[in-house]
Amino acid sequence: MPNGTFVYDFSEGNRDQKELLGGKGANLAEMTRLGLPVPPGFTVTTEACRWFLTHDEEPPALRVQVTSALRRLEDSLGRQLGDTHDPLLVSVRSGAVFSMPGMMDTILNVGLNDASVQGLAEASGDERFAWDSYRRLISMYGRTVMDVSPELFSKALEHAVESAGVASESELSADQLRSIVVIYKEIIRTHSGREFPQHPREQLDMAVRAVFQSWNSERAKLYRRRERIADDLGTAVNVCAMVFGNLGEDSGTGVAFTRDPATGSPGHYGDYLANAQGEDVVAGIRNTLTLDDLASSNPAVATQLAQTMRRLETHYRDLCDIEFTVERGKLWMLQTRVGKRTAGAAFRIACQLLDEGLITEDEALARVTGSQLAQLLVPQLAQNAGNRVLTRGIPASPGAAVGQVVFDPAIAVEWAESGRNVVLVRRETNPDDLAGMVASVGILTARGGKTSHAAVVARGMGKPAVCGAEALRVDEAERMVTVMSEGEQIVLREGDFVSLDGATGEVFLGEIPVSSSPVSRYLLEGMDAVLPSLNEDDAAAVLCVDRILKYADTVRRLRVRANADSGLDASRARHLGAEGIGLCRTEHMFLGERRELVERVILAETSTERTDALAALAPLQRDDFVEILREMDGLPVTVRLLDPPLHEFLPDRSDLMVRVALAQERGEDASADEKLLIAVNRLHESNPMLGLRGVRLGLVVPGLFALQVRALAEAYVELVRAGGAPQPEIMVPLVGSARELRLMREEITGVLAEVSEHSGMEVSMPIGTMIELPRAALTSGRIARAADFFSFGTNDLTQTTWGFSRDDVEAAFFAAYLEKGVFTISPFETIDEIGVGRLVAISVEEGRKSHPGLKLGVCGEHGGDPESIHFFHRVGLDYVSASPFRIPVARLEAGRAVIVAAAASDTR
């Protein structure tokens, strides 16, 4: 609405208004409400941003509302924006609903100009501070509002530091900073064609507009695509009275966490820079001090900060990420939010808060995710590999990364797209490097700490990162890095291999093999076998994973089965907590040496030949089933009858044609290949995925499915006689009509009856079908009358609903669809709820209406996807089935689905 309320003072909001005020604005309002030392200010709402993005202009009422809020701010402080005597200065910061660290713009010291800088110098009694603040404004304003390359300002500053013969910009004098201001303004004039604006209100209005526009910057759009944040939310803008950390050694700026975000260890963690401002800490431009260093230099401020951190953590009942400034010994809180953390830290912190009585067991389960557990299952660098340690930095984000060094984010993207693993090496990263960070397997920086841009973004993406490796001398222009290692200078050039250990901060020369992670070892080998060999942090993470996973098992409704085709897979899945097999693909059993027997079945010209070929396959198939059923004794095993087109078991058609042509040209005997080519041509299909496969094979090729059913029934008899308790289930694939399933059911029950009669043992097992065609989903009420269970084959259901051929489209245009927002994520990775999911919901409803006792599951890859599992819980399935190594993730998310659904119900 163009005349609604678009501006709120910090004193008017609270943390529950994130959708309106953005995360930063809502939390600034909350801290103000708690009476914490927050500089006064106001928030321009996300509604104003959305209006701007839609109409390319600010809402008509916005300027008046900003003027009123600004006057209230000026009156409360007794100063005016940009006044020539003791001027009020403000910061202009973005603040989206969901945290997007470093992705949008911030401008500090708004209100300074050629006149007010003199007033700031007089009021502060520090001319150097005033000119340092002015040059910061010009550089930030230039790159953010006037679209001038930040490299131009950086190079000018580096040149000034070198010319002055000092170590950093903090040692430049007031006169030297005054000269830099002149240079900066000339850079803006030359590269933008405009003068740096001298009117304070013009600075403020243009800064607010620039923050709005930064919502659609390339780095912000890339981050939203990766994090699946909606494009239409917009960002709020926070205008806050400036407090200054660059007023001398009794001033500074910092970022702190109430617990270690990398490991989850208790205690306060953070970075602090004396005589610094704003973005210096997170930018990683200078290496930071610790909070212990702050306690040594200013114990009163450190004590107040610790008390404030404890209060915020108690209030939010979670790890808090805090930005603060110290101005001449006074502490100011600039931001707080629930902090990003690594996967291991997430589990550890959840257990700590549970033990401290701050959260319940349900909340502890809700605080961790299947994606985080999946990160803990990835391999780590092998121990004692013997590779040389190049250097050590700060362990900013754990995990193993092995790849080729690149120095340019664009090169990182290019190499990654060609299939190469790359490690991005930078002096420090900035938001414009995001595309290269996404493309890289790991990140290494020479500057920065655990709260630097590189560290925060890497932890959010689950990528290994080592930051603040001070021994590195990175020359990005020459694409090389030098480091003194064990008294020898080592030079790494683009393309050389390094290995990063994000948990220890070690950087190794060359490639190091990776080994199983502690969590995956515990899941496969057991706690007692693994725990004694682990360090303190790994042991704590493993114990917390075990604790939360076991609780998830007690609350989840969905059962979790495995997709497994061999005894080895079945055994591994059972160790990982599988409660049966939801998909045993029998086609995998006909490959290798057995392929020739399948060829005989296909090429048989008489029923006798086909019967002989099937008889040769029968004992092999029976042994396969015995092995799998034995491993899953007492648990259900769903066996899918042969599904793929038969031509997949024959030689390639093009190869055969070449062989026949060459043999004929040479006058050689090609009769065998000619016969095979005739069969291949007969079976050739333009679109085999929609051709003769699944149930159609069973109806067209006599004896094929009967062979499999008989082998399964005989395996069942053998195991029961041996004292086992096998629970096989028979699944007919690609059914599109109830008549198809009824015909197959008649044949299957006939074979089971024959085995029963021959063995003298009652042999009965559930018979169901896969729902993987839209017609099957839409006619589920009819099909259910002939089925004991449905299993949704969401891979094929996605293909047939979208009209996609997965093998073709993912490479052909999925990247463009993700870029254009057609997808937020591949529909083969997470279920398309409004399309494919709608078909699943219809099938569930109609199937159970027709057959109330119908058992329902899913066996596509979506069965192991965290987000999809929540959908399957809501729609009422009985189980999900996933690949063995996704079993723990599915167990966890099935438990979380109960908690999340209950919380959503409570808010309605």
> 62-77 and 200-214 are packed helices; what angle lies between their axes, rounded to 10 degrees?
120
Nearest to 847 by CA among 800, 793, 790: 790
Q: What is the DSSP letter of 416?
A: H
Three-class SS of 134-203: HHHHHHHHHHHCCCCCHHHHHHHHHHHHHHHCCCCHHHCCHHHHHHHHHHHHHHHHHHHCCCCCCCHHHH
Beta strands across the sheet bearing 442-445: 389-392, 506-509, 497-501, 400-406, 422-426, 442-445, 465-467, 394-397
- Give the span between the Cα atoms of 506 and 489, in whole angstroms: 17
Checking DSSP bridges between strand 789-792 and strand 855-858, what pairing results, if any?
A: parallel
- Give the span between the Cα atoms of 29 and 32, in whole angstroms: 5
Tokens of 123: 């009021």
Query: Please, which residues bridge with residue 252 across strands?
Result: 274, 326
Q: What is each CA distance from 357 to 103, 548, 841, in whole angstroms?
A: 35, 16, 39
Q: What is each CA distance from 277 to 31, 160, 242, 603, 885, in whole angstroms?
A: 21, 19, 10, 79, 47
CA 277, 278, 280: angle at the middle one, nearest 5? 75
Spatial CB neighbours of 232, under 8 Å, sequence gap ≥ 6: 50
Is 466 within 8 Å of 455 (Cβ atoms)? no
Tokens of 92: 């202009």
Is 768 within 8 Å of 731 (Cβ atoms)? yes
> If you write DSSP's letter for every residue of 782-795 in order, what string do you get?
HHGGG-SEEEE-HH
Residue identified by tokens 């195991």 is: 719
Checking DSSP bridges between strand 422-426 and strand 442-445, what pairing results, if any?
A: parallel
Q: Which of 467, 584, 859, 870 is catalytic?
A: 859
Q: Which of 49, 351, 453, 467 is catalytic?
A: 453
Helix (H, G, I), strand (E, B) or coil at 592: helix
- Give the span between the Cα atoms of 801 and 525, in whole angstroms: 41
**Would you say how long the chain is, in residues?**
908
240 is an active site residue: no
Phi, psi (rounded to 5 degrees) for 344: -60, -40
Is 43 within 8 Å of 8 (Cβ atoms)? yes
Helix (H, G, I), strand (E, B) or coil at 113: coil
Nearest to 273 by CA among 448, 469, 91: 448
Nearest to 278 by CA among 458, 455, 106: 106
Spatial CB neighbours of 86, under 8 Å, sequence gap ≥ 6: 79, 119, 120, 122, 123
453 is an active site residue: yes
- Give the span between the Cα atoms of 213 and 216, in whole angstroms: 6
Catalytic residues: 453, 859
